[in-house]
Amino acid sequence: MPGEHTACVIVSIGDELTLGQSLDTNSRWLSARLLECGIVTARHVTVPDDAVAVERAVREAAADAPLVISTGGLGPTEDDLTRVALAAALGDELVEDAEALRAIEGWYAARGARMPATNRVQSQRPSGASCLPNPHGTAPGLRARLRGADVFCLPGPPREMGPMFEACVLPALRPPAGRVVRTRVLPTFGYGESRVAELLGDLMRRGRNPLVGTTASVGVVTVRLRYEGGAKEAESALAETERAVRTALGAAVLTPEGDTRERTLAEVVLDLLKERNETLAVAESCTGGLLGAMLTGVSGSSVAFAGGWITYTNAMKHAELGVPDRFVPDAADARAPGAVSEETARAMALGCRERARFVLRGAAGVDHALAITGVAGPDGGTAAKPVGTVWICRASRDGTVDARRFLFRGGRDAVRTWSAMSALGMLRLRLLGVEMELLGEVERGEG
């Protein structure tokens, strides 16, 4: 009786991957599915369409883990070498699989075509291996035992690979008995990754179970919990650690107790607005629509998001939002606040609410307006207002106005993304009624 699948090594095969022409999404997908089944992936290896490289990768993988899954290299062309490489690793010879051949011929017949001669090679397998049916393509998969490891070779195209994993690999998995792997994610916004680590302190200790780690992506620092052990203790252990993380990070955690889905900041803000039956409009200068795009990227956002104004030029700021000419005069004027200033940000936010009130008479305007104006760079920076200087203002129906100056690092994309995210962050804090200084914040306007 073969042993448990205590770990898996995933081998991706293809020149297009090692040449950087295509992105390997299979390894990530397989790792996530395996984890859900209680099997941890120990390593991903990507090798080119080279028989020697593939054979070595498969042999080393089988030596390291009792489960090996490869993707790619099963096509009909001369650079599809997985069959040859597996045979070499097994010290076996290739034979033609009559059933696989019939399946390939049938695949073409079903499309009113005859199988091209080139595809016949796809019916070959090492004599000691078996073929795995591929309902979505011509490439059968392969299954073999190598040095006590179960080796599955699947085709590269995700829409063929995925279904074959579910149909042929999943039923053959033997996750470690009793031991399960469970994960939870807690997205946060407002602190940098190191500040989060500081606040989590001992919770991030290596070897702790559940293990606590963090990943950062465009402003959102996600805290990841991973439990490995008996199924019985899993939920209580995760719940306890989740509580500890929430206590340590407070308002920075984007999701409410018990909700551990991956969420975007826009999703979270829109949910808060919907709960309160409140609406939002935006006025964007340096982000030029990015904030609106983040909000409308969420399905159903029209309930809470009315729309906005992309006032990229000063003329638009004047005419659409009523920003006074003296703030952003056509002729350069050192005494004028300028487009990137607290005055202009406030005028944009207040003008946005004013304008929305006129526009949305039925709805009596919007409850909140967010305005963004800044220097995204790479040009346009000055000593007083370096690239990355951004004023963001929130104005709400209750008359409260919150204007903050930020200094963001990174290129134009980074500054713009951080600007839109921070605007959402400011509104979120307001909706929650909590106070927090956001990363990159360097100045507050007076109330």
**Which positions from 391 through 430 interact with a copy of itself, judged by CB under 8 A?**
407, 409-414, 416
Residues numbered 56 to 95 that lie near a copy of itself (CB under 8 A) are 57, 75-79
> Binder to a copy of itself among 167, 312, 324, 336 (CB under 8 A)?
312
Nearer residue to a copy of itself within complex by CB, 3 or 158: 158
Query: Please, which of residues 211-270 interact with a copy of itself by CB under 8 A?
Result: 211, 213-217, 224, 226
Residue 112 or 399 with smaller CB distance to a copy of itself: 112
> Quick one: 128 or 278, whose CB is closer to a copy of itself?
278
- Which CB atom, from 363 or from 434, has the smaller least distance to a copy of itself? 363
The only residue of 299, 335, 399, 446 in contact with a copy of itself, by rule CB under 8 A: 299
Instruction: Look at residues 29, 58, 31 and name the one whose alpha carbon lies nearest to residue 46.
Output: 58
Q: How many residues bind a copy of itself (CB under 8 A)?
A: 120
Residue 330 Cβ vs a copy of itself, minimum distance, rounded to whole Å: 8
Considering the complex, state which of residue 128 and residue 136 has its C-beta at the smaller distance from a copy of itself.
136
Give least dist CB 116 to a copy of itself, A: 5
Closest approach of a copy of itself to the CB of residue 295, in Å: 7
**Only segment of 117-125, 142-150, 172-180, 426-434 that touches a copy of itself (CB under 8 A):** 117-125
Distance, in Å, from the CA atom of 59 to the CA atom of 77, rounded to the nearest integer, reads 23
Q: What is the 3-state secondary structure (H, E, C) of 143-157?
A: EEEECCEEEEEECCC
Q: Is residue 358 part of the contact set for a copy of itself (CB under 8 A)?
A: yes
Q: Which stretch binds a copy of itself (CB under 8 A): 88-96, 235-243, 244-252, 309-317?
A: 309-317
Contacts of 252 (CB under 8 A, 6+ apart): 188, 189, 190, 191, 196, 221, 436
Q: In which residue are the tokens 């200084």 written?
A: 437
3 state SS of 302:
helix
- Binding a copy of itself (rule: CB under 8 A), the pick from 2, 3, 25, 326 is 25
Q: Binder to a copy of itself among 170, 172, 231, 363 (CB under 8 A)?
A: 363
Secondary structure of residue 75 in the 3-state scheme: coil
Closest C-alpha among 293, 292, 339 to residue 316:
339
Q: Which is nearer to a copy of itself, 399 or 440 (CB)?
A: 440
Which residues are bridge partners to 151 per DSSP?
68, 144
Applying CB under 8 A, which of residues 5, 13, 24, 87 lies at the interface with a copy of itself? 24
Q: What is the DSSP letter of 117?
A: G
Nearest approach in angstroms of CB 142 to a copy of itself is: 18
Q: Is the N-terminal amide bond of 210 cis, ω within 30° of 0?
A: yes
Site for a copy of itself in 28-57 (CB under 8 A): 28-35, 40-49, 53, 57
Structure tokens at 143: 């299954």
Exposed (0-12), middle (13-18) or buried (19+): which is 303, by Cβ within 10 Å? exposed
Q: Are 318 and 325 spatial neighbours (Cβ–Cβ below 8 Å)?
A: yes
Gap between the Cα atoms of 271 and 277, Å rounded: 10
Pick the stretch among 90-98, 141-149, 245-253, 296-304 that binds a copy of itself (CB under 8 A). Answer: 296-304
Binding mask 182-211 for a copy of itself (x = CB under 8 A): -x-x-------xxx-xx-----xxx----x
Amino acid identity of residue 136, one-letter, is: H
CB of 126 to a copy of itself, least distance (A): 20
Under 8 Å between Cβ of 285 and 374: yes
Rule CB under 8 A: say whether 176 interacts with a copy of itself: no
Of the ranges 123-131, 285-293, 341-349, 423-431, which one interacts with a copy of itself (CB under 8 A)? 285-293
DSSP annotation string for 220-281: EEEEEEEEEEEHHHHHHHHHHHHHHHHHHHGGGB-S-TT------HHHHHHHHHHHTT--EE
Q: Is 381 in the site for a copy of itself (CB under 8 A)?
A: no
Distance, in Å, from the CA atom of 13 to the CA atom of 69, rounded to the nearest integer, reads: 11
d(CA 253, CA 16): 39
Going by their DSSP bridges, the two strands 368-374 and 280-284 should be labelled as parallel
- Residue 18 structure tokens: 């090692």
Q: Of the ranges 114-122, 234-242, 244-252, 345-353, which one interacts with a copy of itself (CB under 8 A)?
A: 114-122
Q: At what angle do helices 265-275 and 412-432 cross, to 10 degrees?
A: 30
Is the Cβ of residue 311 or residue 396 nearer to a copy of itself in the bound state? 311
52 torsion bin: left (phi>0), alpha (psi -120 to 50), beta (else): alpha
